[in-house]
Structure 1
Amino acid sequence: MALAAVKKKPYQAEQSTVYNILFIIGLCHLLNDSLQAVIPAMFPILEKSMGLTFTQLGIIAFTLNIVSSVMQPLVGLYSDKRPLPYALPIGLTSSMIGMLGLAFAPSFITILVCVFFIGLGSAVFHPEGSRVAYMAAGEKRGLAQSIYQVGGNSGQALAPLITAIILVPLGQFGAIWFTLVAACAVAFLFYIARWYSMKLNVQTIQKAKKAASNTSNVHKNAITMALIVIVFLIFARSWYVSAISNFYAFYVIENYNSTIAESQSYIFLFLLMGAVGTFFGGPLADRFGKRTVILFSLLATVPLSLLLPFVGSMVAYILLSLIGLILMSSFSVTVVYAQELIPGKIGTMSGLTVGLAFGMGAIGSVALGSLIDLFGLTPTMITIAFLPVLGALAFLLPSDERLKEWYE
């Protein structure tokens, strides 16, 4: 009996959830994404001070997101073969340099260069941060990924507050304060990197890769189809979120006669409730299934998004809250689903899904900015309201039970 207990301890330790690491990496995710949130938060400031067009603002968002989206899968692919614990603090150092330059950037081109460094730091952070969450998850993968991702969504939700409290009174130079935010993140990530280094088990990683390779050969077509569906789902969610977070403030100013500071309260509420939805999505997926949560999050958003362009200012607050809560409940769930679709490729799948979200958001920023310049705010907002309808494609995804059968 005693011997059995002794033998069981290593297994229990391996399966236990390391909450302190999850909360620290979630906090670092918050700090990292708050740096990124400064960029769209500066849009109303830059539009007035530099006379930038909506298309130029879209190009800035495109630069930030496309650098991150292109690099994330590459970082994840490389780190699946050779894990990079200390890439985490190095990545945030790149963001710190970009943020320092942004505070003094004199031109549109200089802003793009600074945004490139911030995007590069984010590209390094996200796949490795997701791997840390996976390693610390134990059996609670949905919850662990939610804790990690809710940090990022909370950081994004700070953008309106950053605008109202810091950038409106201080202008572009107010970005200087976020070099301190980046420095704090670097310090925390050195602690995470040390834990990460001790936790690595190369034999386990190689074994998982071999199992994933064997299964992928058997179910290759089904996996490819599932990945294509995931791409379309991420496209629908990312373009809608991009439209609200980057341009809805202008819609509020134009239609509700609000000030810049007042318009940011709508975006803050949308992103804040999105962070709440991200957190609860993981535990709900652990209980009801990842495919179910993904399907519900998009389809349940459809009637709300269709109503939003036609309501008054007060009802808009309510609808935006519900849309953010429901739509973003599948954000972390999509990442976990992709990781379990192809086990052994944790970094690659994280880089692909999160990076794809950034990339789709980047393309959406440019496309939506151009559409607004051509057709106006209101017609564009009405058009994007139909995007969540694509959530019906989630019916084509293999069920959670099917995924378990594949890898047993």
Structure 2
Amino acid sequence: MKKGQLGFLAGTHVVNDLYQSAIPAMLPFLMTQRHYSYAAVSGLAFAASGISSLFQPLFGVLSDRRSRPWLVPAGFVTAALGVVAAGLSGSYLVTWLCVALAGIGIAAYHPPATSQARAAGGSSQKAMSVFSVGGTIGGSLAPTLVTLVIGAAGFSSSYLLAVPALVMAAMWAVKGPWMRWRGHTPATPLAGAGAGAKAGEPERGDDWRAFGRLVVVIVGWSIPYVTVTSMVSLHAQRDLQQSTAAGAAVLTCYTAAGAVGTLLGGWIGDRHGRMTSVRLGYLVALPALAGIALAPTFWLLVLCTVTFGVAMFLPFAAQVTLSQDYLPHHPGTASGLTLGLAMAAGGLCSPAFGWLADGSGLPVVFYTLVGLFLVPVVLAVRLPDRVVPAAPTVSTPKPAEAVAANDAG
């Protein structure tokens, strides 16, 4: 494990996903200050996540064909530009286009960064969870940052949200010891695939059928995750009569719980196998989601939301490495599809849930999510595991070892 490289990539993930989560954090302010409806703010969620779903697989294919590490800083800088411009815009159409631009930047970042993180961490689930938790930490910081900037000074101060991206872009330009790319590059198949397989091992081809099943699971994961992210703060304010600050707090707890779940899932994956973290996460998330729908008090809502956040991210790192092992010849494509769908499929459904909320209220939205979530839960517990061996490490023998090898020969 290349800890310096992995840690730096996790830092870029903090910044990138901060802007991904800044958009849901802005929605309550858009409703109160610009008087947008549920359908309007759901349309913005679609612009961020749904547009990203169209572009992220494309960036994954590009990463498989040739290493493009510059997409990492270009992605989070573009995301920052879109978020800042959306805050400064006064027109809904321009705001929608700016949010879509942020979604394209987020899409550009994930495939190359995830492939580089897998190269830095090897086959360790804990390593991938460290990279993934960077994103969830960024997501947990977004509501607080947006509340401090926009809540205190209004949308005219949105330019301050660009500071994290500018700092990380400067660090990327300097690079230093973090960026010593060695071993697998995004354009190279994982070890164990084709020519990378060890002598005597069967060639590991792409298993598109198993990957397709995983995609269905991730789509089913995405819809409740994105919808809860977009509406749990509004649910606390509108249905449980809480303040804007309390709504932001429950969203912060939700995203922070995701960070805990990501690290815990990596630990469980290394100790007990990654399929354990996948199955446990889905089985715990289902009753927690029902608790969000039924919670009669604010503190019970917080408890259920935190539990749901932890459970939803237990399988996150495992799903990424599993997708790459299903498609060892196309790790960038696997990363692009899994991470893209992880946020984007829910965004595609956001307008429909916005219309449902406008017509029937937020509780009905959460009841509907519980029913839909049954499908990925059933499929997740039946997913097959598949392990592609890590690249062998070749070391130069010491003189004594060389002599012993010669004597043995």
Alpha-carbon offset, residue 136 of structure 1: 0.8
Match of 1:250 in 2: 234
Q: 1:98 to 1:369 in 2, by over 3 A?
A: same
Q: 1:190 to 1:309 in 2, by over 3 A?
A: same
Q: 1:212 to 1:343 in 2, by over 3 A?
A: farther
Is residue 342 from structure 1 mapped to residue 323 from structure 2 by the alignment? Answer: no
Match of 1:145 in 2: 128
Match of 1:395 in 2: 381
Structure 2: runs of 5 or more not aligned? 393-409
Is residue 278 from structure 1 mapped to residue 258 from structure 2 by the alignment? Answer: no
**Which 10-residue stretch deviates more, 111-120 or 195-204?**
195-204
Equivalent runs, 1:149-160 vs 2, <5 Å = 149-160=132-143
RMSD value, Cα: 2.6
Partners of 2:119 and 2:185 within 8 A in 1: no
Q: 1:228 to 1:39 in 2, by over 3 A?
A: same
Is residue 353 from structure 1 mapped to residue 346 from structure 2 by the alignment? Answer: no
Structure 1: runs of 5 or more not aligned? 1-16
Match of 1:7 in 2: none
State the distance in 2 between where 1:189 and 1:123 align.
Answer: 19
What amino acid sits opposite 1:397 in the alignment?
L
Partners of 1:163 and 1:264 within 8 A in 2: no
Of the three residues 73, 85, 95, the one matched with 1:111 is 95
Q: 1:201 to 1:343 in 2, by over 3 A?
A: closer
Q: Deviations over 1:250-305 (max 9, x none)?
A: 21112221111111111111111111101221121122222221111111222222
Equivalent runs, 1:6-405 vs 2, <5 Å = 17-140=1-124, 142-191=125-174, 198-199=181-182, 205=188, 208=191, 210-211=194-195, 215=203, 223-311=207-295, 312-390=297-375, 391-400=377-386, 403=387
Alpha-carbon offset, residue 339 of structure 1: 0.7
Q: Deviations over 1:90-113 (max 9, x none)?
A: 223323432342232120111122
Tell me the secondary structure at the aligned position of residue 256 of structure 1.
coil
State the distance in 1 between where 2:176 and 2:333 align.
Answer: 19
What amino acid sits opposite 1:325 in the alignment?
V
What amino acid sits opposite 1:385 in the alignment?
V
Say how many residue pairs are matched.
384
TM-score, normalised to structure 1, is: 0.86
Partners of 1:38 and 1:175 within 8 A in 2: no
What amino acid sits opposite 2:341 in the alignment?
L
State the distance in 1 between where 2:36 and 2:56 align.
Answer: 29
Alpha-carbon offset, residue 212 of structure 1: 8.4
State the distance in 2 between where 1:289 and 1:53 align.
Answer: 45
What amino acid sits opposite 2:137 in the alignment?
S
Q: 1:356 to 1:211 in 2, by over 3 A?
A: farther
State the distance in 2 between where 1:248 and 1:353 align.
Answer: 24
Tell me the secondary structure at the aligned position of residue 326 of structure 1.
helix
State the distance in 2 between where 1:247 and 1:203 align.
Answer: 36
State the distance in 1 between where 2:380 and 2:81 align.
Answer: 40
State the distance in 2 between where 1:41 and 1:207 align.
Answer: 37
Q: 1:226 to 1:260 in 2, by over 3 A?
A: same
Alpha-carbon offset, residue 147 of structure 1: 0.9
Q: Deviations over 1:7-65 (max 9, x none)?
A: xxxxxxxxxx1111111111111111112222111111111222211111111111111
TM-score, normalised to structure 2, is: 0.86
Q: 1:104 to 1:232 in 2, by over 3 A?
A: same
Q: 1:255 to 1:207 in 2, by over 3 A?
A: closer
Partners of 1:299 and 1:388 within 8 A in 2: no
Tell me the secondary structure at the aligned position of residue 284 of structure 1.
helix
What amino acid sits opposite 1:315 in the alignment?
L
State the distance in 2 between where 1:198 and 1:253 align.
Answer: 47
State the distance in 1 between where 2:179 and 2:8 align.
Answer: 12
Alpha-carbon offset, residue 192 of structure 1: 5.4
Partners of 1:85 and 1:193 within 8 A in 2: no
Partners of 1:338 and 1:350 within 8 A in 2: yes
State the distance in 1 between where 2:136 and 2:340 align.
Answer: 15
Q: Which has the higher helix share?
A: 1
Match of 1:11 in 2: none
Partners of 1:68 and 1:359 within 8 A in 2: yes
Q: 1:191 to 1:136 in 2, by over 3 A?
A: farther
